[in-house]
A and B are shown apart, each in its own frame.
Chain A
């Protein structure tokens, strides 16, 4: 399905995700981050559970590190989606509430939504869940600033 027409920007959606894929190659590749879906100002990214991502080998409970990486990536890409093209940027701050523990074996999906873009700063919120968006595992707020240009 071609969603490229739904953007204010000049770059087709497919190209944004091609660019985003490069951006999420190294560490994102290690945790197995994948694209799920997107809209005008949001993107869903996810990763599947694997034992290497646990904070504790006995309980298998997911570390917060992979969740925060997922959230950071979903937030950044939601901005590119809203802008309509990749822009160089950096995370300014990120605050995450760990609403509940993520039990072993479940994929985690995060929806990053960019709700405001000003000249220099983008404001984003993000909710991560393990199957039911109404029962999140983490809730986050982040700001990014545009670097370069």
Chain B
């Protein structure tokens, strides 16, 4: 991953190198469980947020920008329950402004065309 985070380590999030995209993946473990048999909504939101940071840090770094990122807000839509399987998330940068970046992300399990959640984030760029 482009950043080191104790929280990412705790939930087992890692960079997935299957493609060139900045995909983050967490494997199913009992520690990610919310209601029995389903991934906790907070884990899904946390993974979506970290996918946003990952994509944004890479984008900023490519232009030598060392801005510190601070989350302003996040809106998560839950589309399907996250079942006992690996969970992936990847973000797309919508806009990088002077002070604020707009980022969206999707989260899926077996089938990327059937997302289990989407998110929209505003991130403050502290330079």
Contact = CB atoms under 8 A, between A and B. Distances in A.
Size band of the interface chain A makes with B:
35 or more
Interface residues of B, number: 35
B70 A101 contact: yes
B74 interface: yes
Given A52-B6, A55-B5, A97 B78 contact: no
Interface string A80-113: 0000000010111111111001000000000000
B98 interface: no
Contacts of B76: 68, 91, 93-95
Interface string B1-41: 00111111111000000000000000000111111100011
Contacts of B90: none
B94 interface: no
A146 to B, nearest CB: 13
Contacts of B8: 63
A94 B5 CA distance: 23
A65 B42 contact: yes
Interface in B35-73: 35-36, 40-43, 45-47, 49-50, 70-73
B10 A68 contact: no
Nearest to A59: B68
Q: Which 4 A-B pairs have the closest CB atoms?
A: A69-B42, A65-B46, A26-B33, A63-B7
Interface of B: 3-11, 30-36, 40-43, 45-47, 49-50, 70-78, 81
Given A26-B30, A27-B31, A52-B7, 18 more contacts: A23-B35, A24-B34, A26-B32, A27-B42, A30-B10, A52-B9, A54-B6, A55-B7, A65-B42, A66-B7, A68-B42, A68-B74, A70-B42, A72-B45, A93-B76, A96-B73, A98-B73, A101-B70
